[in-house]
Structure 1
């Protein structure tokens, strides 16, 4: 089956940036969080920022699940859960530390 244009674009970016798939997910999650926090008024404490990361992580994994099902015939649920955790973990740690004032200034 033909791979989609988005999947080919992602593969090209990973090869040109010399990033692993896990590093790509971590950086993407952090970038989505920082952009959403920049747009929202409450900055890093924004609930919208963390929820936007969760929604993007689920959307990326649904896209990946579709690719797995069409190419392999089954969905790798363990790999999908690992990818969701990779994308959400660093923004979640940052959000919790700001929300509960770990760094008092």
Structure 2
């Protein structure tokens, strides 16, 4: 089975950065969360940046699921859950800290 363009892109990013796939999930989730907050001028306590991080995580895992089924004949759902948790961990922490007032300047 041929490697999909999405998987090739992921492998190229891993190779170029020298980071693990897990680390990249963490960075992507945090970057999407913060960039959405800044771009849309939404406070960190808003659900909008967090939902953007979820959307990106789910879209990536949908592509991985497609590739898993094509390559392995089944979806490796545990690996997808692992990736989603890695992607959403820090956005969730920051959202909760901002919502409960720990991050006081995060309007």
Q: TM-score range by the shorter chain?
A: over 0.9
Matching residue of 1:33: 33
Deviations 1:32-88, CA, capped at 9 Å, x for gaps: 001110022333122110001111111111111111110011111111111101101
Structure with more helix by fraction: 1
- How far residue 103 of structure 1 moved from its aligned partner, in angstroms, is 3.6
Deviation at 1:6, TM superposition (A): 2.3
Q: Is the 8 A contact 2:33 2:49 kept in 1?
A: yes
2:16 aligned counterpart, secondary structure: helix
How many residues were matched structurally? 105
Structure 1 residue runs of 5 or longer lacking an equivalent are none
Residues 1:101 and 2:92 are matched in the alignment = no
Task: Give TM-score, length-normalised by structure 1.
Answer: 0.92
TM-score relative to the length of structure 2: 0.91
Paired with 1:103 and 1:29, the residues of 2 have a C-alpha distance of 19
Q: State yes or no: 1:42 paired with 2:50.
A: no
Shift of 1:16: 1.5
Describe the shift of the 1:7–1:41 C-alpha distance in structure 2 as closer, same or farther (beyond 3 A).
same
